[in-house]
Homo-oligomer: A and B are copies of this chain.
Amino acid sequence: MLSNSQIKHINSLKLKKYRDEFQEFIAEGSTLVADLINSRLEIRGVYALNQWITANTDLLERNKIAVFEAGPAEMQRISALSSPGPVLAIVKIPSDAGIVLEETDADTLEQIVPGIYNELSLMLEGISDPGNFGTILRIADWFGIRNVFCSENCVEVYNPKVVQASMGSVARVKVFYTDTGALLSKLAGRIPVYGTFMEGESIYSSTLKNKGIIIIGSETRGISYTVAGYVSNRLFIPSYGSLDYGKAESLNAAVAAAIVIAEFRRPSAI
C-alpha cells in the first residue's frame, strides 16, 4: 500500500516544473521498466502489482531496486496512462542531461559530444508532439545514432508521453536542447548538414555519408529559415505513383525521419 505522500510525489512528476525540481521522471509498462532497470539510468523506485513483483524478483534483486507494492486502484491513481500497466518506475534524470552547448566553441564540442564530427547525428526543430518525439528517439536508437540536438521549442524529453513512445531509448540516446542556428554555425563546413524538405534532391540519388547532421523540421512549419541557411544538402523523399483521386501531401515527421535515416544506414553493397 502506498502512502499519500508517495502518490502525491509521483503525480507531481507529470509536470515539467516538478521533474526539473526533483530531477526525476516516470516510466510505465513492463517492457519499458525492465529495459530501464537494465540501462545506465538510476531507478529511484518501482511501484507495481504483486504479480509483477513476483514475476520479476530476480531482475529487482539483481539491480537492488526499491520496490513498493500497489493495488490496481493505486496504480490507477499514479498512472499517466488511460489503461495503467502493472508497473511504474521513478527514474533519476542523468546528471549529464541539459548541457548548454551555446557556450562551447567548435573544438571543445567534441569533448562534450563525442562523435559529433565523425558520426551521424540528428537535429529536430519544433517537434512538439510527444509521440512523434519519442518515436524519433526510438528510430535513432535502432539505427545507432547517439546524439540528438533539439531546438528549444521541441517537447521536453522526460515528458511521460515521450518516455512511453521512446520505449526505453530515452536511456540510450543523448538529447541536447540548444540554439540550433548557433550550433550549426560552428559545424557548417566541417561536416555535411542534411535538411529534409518537400523538394530538393531525392534521397535515392544523393550521396549520403555516414557522418554529419540530419535535420527534421516540424510538420506544420518545416525547417526554419535560420537553420535552412546552414543546410549543405537539401533532401526529399519521393512519393510513388498516384491514386486516382490525389494523394497524401506529406508524411508524418517521425515517418519521414525513419525513411531518411534508414536510407543513410542502408548497406550500399547488397
Residues of B within 8 A of A73 (CB): none
From A35, A142, A168, A247, name the one whose CB has the most chain B CB atoms within 10 angstroms: A142
Count copies of this chain in the complex: 2
User: Which A160-204 residues have a C-beta within 8 angstroms of B?
Assistant: 165, 167-169, 171-173, 202, 204
A255 nearest in chain B by CB position: B258
Could you say which of B168, B202, B247, B267 contacts A248, with CB atoms under 8 Å apart?
B168
Residues of B within 8 A of A173 (CB): 243
Could you say which of B40, B135, B237, B245 contacts A171, with CB atoms under 8 Å apart?
B245
Q: Are B246 and A142 in contact (CB under 8 A)?
A: no
Determine if A33 is an interface residue (Cβ-Cβ < 8 Å): no
Determine if A141 is an interface residue (Cβ-Cβ < 8 Å): yes
Determine if A112 is an interface residue (Cβ-Cβ < 8 Å): no
21 A-B pairs in the complex with CB atoms less than 8 angstroms apart: A38-B246, A40-B245, A131-B131, A138-B252, A138-B255, A139-B252, A141-B247, A142-B239, A142-B248, A142-B251, A144-B242, A165-B252, A167-B250, A172-B243, A173-B243, A251-B258, A252-B254, A255-B258, A258-B259, A259-B259, A262-B263
